[in-house]
């Protein structure tokens, strides 16, 4: 017998027998009216299928969990509105349960534990309410603007394992469900920043059951990209309305007001899945980036999260790179604030003294003009941090104060911007307020888990706060998320420090030397190299490393070293011991 995974919606009328006993004809007429005018059209509009009608009950299935929940909300709100003109004792009130589970197919009917759990969830729902399983909750929690109550695990009849139940808060807002209207109302452009549209990934598996998985991947990418907040992301209701259409990239761009389009496909074979993703510049239909992901399906939700995480982490920087290359080709007289910011990014990524000076000039001009997006403030804070690292600033306290001002301004403009949290973490870090740095960097990672910069600063703060074991996963995440990043030397230094803090010296040395191959004259990195070689007692290599370090920065005594090293760092004494083992006499 055939099986497939489906979102199952079960609904029935509360107190149906009492209503029939009081007014059989009126109850049947009202039930038919609700079905024909509201319930059946809502299920069809959300791409669902009515499996069967059972007296007052309805069983429907959906390929998309999001569609199932959105449909349930539409039904409950519609029923509530229709009941306003009906006497209280005669109102038909529904309760709905939704589950994601494996079902057995028999003709047009479905059976199995997935259906049974949906029925039990329906029984747990309050009149006019919706209860969903934990698997459904994981799929929809960030996608419809809804709020949920966690009701915990419940023992239910004829189900072996407890069911974790969530209740949908029907008084919370939901995004518009009429996708065709959403497209027509979408503006043709969104300020100066380019918008991104993620089209529904195509299911090219022979099994139509995988449609829900392809949609889930799409929804996760939309959510994860939105966390970057660098560019507007078109809502899924608008992009999903184009599913199955034959529009080309330019037509999609015009309809959605999006400059960039992400699309892809899903193919499942046995216990493996292949997911392809591509980023296209809709202006030229040029492919900017593409990638293929092969995964085992040991845990379908983990695969979905993992692929969405990596697609978003690749797409956002690629758009930045394409945008600043485009800005560099523009006539200087035609540059807007966003273009000028992109010029600053390009100059900063040159990693030269002239480049940094030009980047600062562009950013200071934007800030003096009162630019109203947070990126220039956050980028300038990061550049000033670089100057502390490279000993380019002679007044560290004044530089830290300036970083705080920039971070607070970025945070004021957009309190949820991850880069603003990173900027505040940087300021706390250099001031020696390491626990505050950990807290702000943690908020940055929570706001955007796929940001390599947020991950690396959380790793740095944890290491210097005395938690190098906890730091290591974040340090490695930054390298994994953006292996070709201009900040790669920072990511490697971060990882080397966490390994040093754990006294895994040989590993720390290998990572440190990888970093030195990228930035051989970086003072702090040269100092780290000396410390590691000193503790490894690798003479004469340690002596030569010390000579090169002191040529960059002449450290006269212990107090001098403390002034240039991270304040209150848990590594200070260990580092000083390493320097002395290398032959330093300060």
CATH for 292: 3.40.50.10610
In a domain, 525, yes or no: yes
Residue ranges with strand state E in 223-271: 260-269
Identify the pLDDT of residue 399.
Answer: 94
Look at residues 120, 142, 169 and tell me which one is the last residue of a structural domain.
169
- Is 216 found in the same domain as 156? no
If asked whether residues 502 and 571 sit together in one domain, one would say yes
CA angle 450, 142, 480 (to 5 degrees): 15
Helix (H) or strand (E) holding 104: strand 94-106
CATH code at position 453: 1.25.40.10
Structure letter (DSSP) for residue 162: -
Q: Where a domain ends, among 328, 354, 376?
A: 328
Q: Above 60 in pLDDT, residue 180?
A: no
* Confidence band, pLDDT 50/70/90 cuts, at residue 190: very low
pLDDT, tens digit, for every residue of 306-322?
888 788 878 877 887 77
Q: How far is CA 308 from CA 212, 312, 517, in A?
A: 15, 6, 32
For 174, list phi and psi in degrees, rounded to 5: -130, 145
Instruction: Look up the domain containing 486 and give its range.
Output: 449-581
Residues 240 and 140 in one domain: no
The Cα 586–Cα 578 span in angstroms is: 12
- Contact between 434 and 465 (Cβ < 8 Å): yes
Range 354-380 average pLDDT: 91
Alpha-helical runs (H) found in 394-540 = 396-413, 418-431, 434-447, 452-464, 468-481, 488-501, 505-518, 523-536
Looking at residue 229, its pLDDT comes to: 65
Domain count, the chain: 3
* Residues 79, 111 share a domain: yes
Between helix 468-481 and helix 452-464 the angle, nearest 10°, is: 160
pLDDT in tens, 280-302: 988 788 898 899 999 887 777 78
Residues 105, 213 share a domain:
no
> From CA 537, how far away is CA 50, in angstroms rounded?
74
Q: Is the pLDDT of residue 547 over 80?
A: yes
**Same domain? 242 vs 145:** no
Token pair in block for residue 129: 């309410």
Give domain status of residue 37, yes or no: yes
- Would you say residue 297 lies in a domain? yes
- CA 525, CA 553: separation in Å to the nearest integer? 12
pLDDT at res. 45: 81
What average pLDDT score do residues 522-533 get? 93
Q: Would you state the pLDDT for residue 186?
A: 34
The verdict on whether omega for the bond into residue 160 sits within 30 degrees of 0, i.e. cis, is no
193 and 160 within one domain:
no
Residue 366 lies in a domain: no
> Looking at the predicted structure, is the pLDDT value of residue 508 above 80?
yes
Q: Please check whether residues 162 and 194 belong to one and the same domain.
A: no
Residues 324-337 have pLDDT tens digits of 677 667 666 667 88
| 177: confidence class by pLDDT, cuts 50, 70, 90 | very low
Q: Is residue 260 part of a domain?
A: yes
Determine the Cα–Cα distance for residues 365 and 341; give it in Å rounded to an integer. Answer: 10
303, part of any domain: yes
Pair 84, 193 in one domain: no
What is the predicted pLDDT for the residue at 511? Answer: 97
β-strand pairing of 272-281 with 260-269: antiparallel
Sign of CA dihedral 88, 89, 91, 96: positive
Least confident of 81-90, 205-214, 284-293: 205-214
| One domain for residues 283 and 137 | no
264 and 130, same structural domain?
A: no
Contact indicator for 381, 410 with CB cutoff of 8 Å: yes
Boundary (domain end) residue, out of 305, 328, 351: 328
The 8 Å CB, 24+ separation contacts for 428-431 are: 428/461, 429/457, 429/460, 429/461, 429/464, 429/566, 430/385, 430/388, 430/396, 430/399, 430/400, 430/403, 430/566, 430/567, 431/400, 431/404, 431/567
Q: Which of 410, 309, 423, 322 is nearest to 366 (CA)?
A: 410
In a domain, 128, yes or no: yes
Residue 433 within a domain: no
The pLDDT value given to residue 219: 80
- Please give the pLDDT value at position 104: 84
Query: Does 143 lie in the same domain as 213?
Result: no
């Amino acid at each position: 017998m055939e099986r497939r995974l489906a979102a199952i919606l079960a609904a029935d009328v509360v107190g149906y027998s009492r209503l029939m006993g009081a007014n059989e004809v009126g109850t049947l007429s009202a039930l038919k009216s609700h079905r024909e005018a509201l319930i059946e059209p809502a299920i069809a509009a959300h791409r669902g299928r009515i499996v069967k009608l059972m007296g007052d009950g309805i069983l429907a299935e959906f390929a998309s969990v999001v569609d199932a929940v959105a449909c349930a909300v539409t039904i409950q709100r519609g029923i509530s509105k229709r009941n306003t003109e009906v006497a209280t004792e005669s109102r038909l009130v529904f309760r709905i349960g939704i589950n994601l589970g494996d079902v057995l197919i028999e003709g047009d009917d479905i059976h199995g534990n997935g259906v049974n759990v949906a029925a039990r969830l329906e029984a747990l729902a309050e009149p006019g309410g919706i209860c969903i399983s934990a698997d459904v909750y994981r799929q929809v929690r960030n996608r419809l603007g809804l709020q949920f109550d966690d009701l915990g695990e419940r023992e239910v009849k004829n189900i072996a394992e407890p069911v974790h139940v969530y209740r949908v808060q029907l008084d919370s807002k939901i995004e518009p469900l009429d996708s065709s209207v959403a497209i027509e109302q979408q503006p043709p452009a969104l300020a100066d920043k380019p918008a991104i549209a993620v089209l529904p990934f195509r299911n090219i598996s022979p099994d139509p059951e995988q449609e829900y998985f392809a949609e889930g991947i799409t929804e996760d990418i939309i959510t994860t990209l939105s966390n970057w907040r660098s560019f507007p992301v078109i809502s899924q209701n608008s992009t999903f309305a184009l599913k199955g259409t034959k529009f080309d990239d330019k037509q999609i761009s015009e309809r959605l007001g999006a400059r960039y389009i992400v699309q892809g496909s899903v193919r499942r074979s046995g216990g493996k899945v292949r997911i392809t993703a591509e980023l296209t510049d809709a202006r030229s239909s040029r492919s900017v980036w593409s990638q293929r992901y092969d995964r085992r399906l040991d845990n379908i939700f983990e695969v979905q999260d993992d692929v969405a995480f990596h697609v978003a982490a690749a797409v956002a920087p690629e758009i930045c790179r394409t945008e600043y290359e485009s800005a560099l080709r523009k006539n200087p007289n035609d540059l807007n604030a966003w273009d000028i910011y992109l010029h600053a990014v390009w100059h900063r990524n040159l990693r030269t003294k002239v480049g940094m000076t030009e980047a600062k000039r562009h950013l200071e001009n934007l800030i003096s003009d009162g630019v109203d997006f947070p990126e220039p403030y956050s980028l300038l804070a990061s550049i000033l941090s670089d100057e502390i690292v490279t000993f380019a600033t002679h007044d560290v306290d004044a530089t830290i104060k300036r970083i705080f001002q920039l971070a607070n301004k970025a945070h004021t403009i957009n309190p949820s911007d991850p880069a603003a949290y990173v900027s505040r973490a940087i300021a706390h870090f250099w001031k020696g307020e390491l626990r505050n740095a950990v807290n702000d960097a943690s908020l940055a990672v929570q706001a955007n888990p796929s940001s390599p910069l947020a991950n690396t600063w959380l790793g740095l703060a944890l290491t210097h706060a005395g938690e190098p074991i906890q730091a290591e996963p974040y340090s490695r995440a930054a390298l994994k998320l953006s292996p070709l990043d201009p900040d790669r030397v920072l990511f490697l230094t971060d990882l080397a420090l966490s390994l040093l803090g754990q006294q895994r010296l040989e590993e720390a040395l290998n990572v440190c030397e990888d970093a030195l191959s990228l930035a051989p004259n970086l003072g702090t990195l040269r100092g780290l190299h000396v410390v590691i070689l000193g503790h490894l007692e690798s003479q004469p290599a340690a002596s030569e490393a010390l000579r090169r370090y002191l040529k960059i920065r002449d450290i006269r005594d212990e107090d001098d070293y403390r002034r240039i090293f991270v304040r209150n760092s848990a590594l200070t004494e260990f580092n000083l011991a390493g320097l002395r083992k290398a032959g330093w006499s300060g």
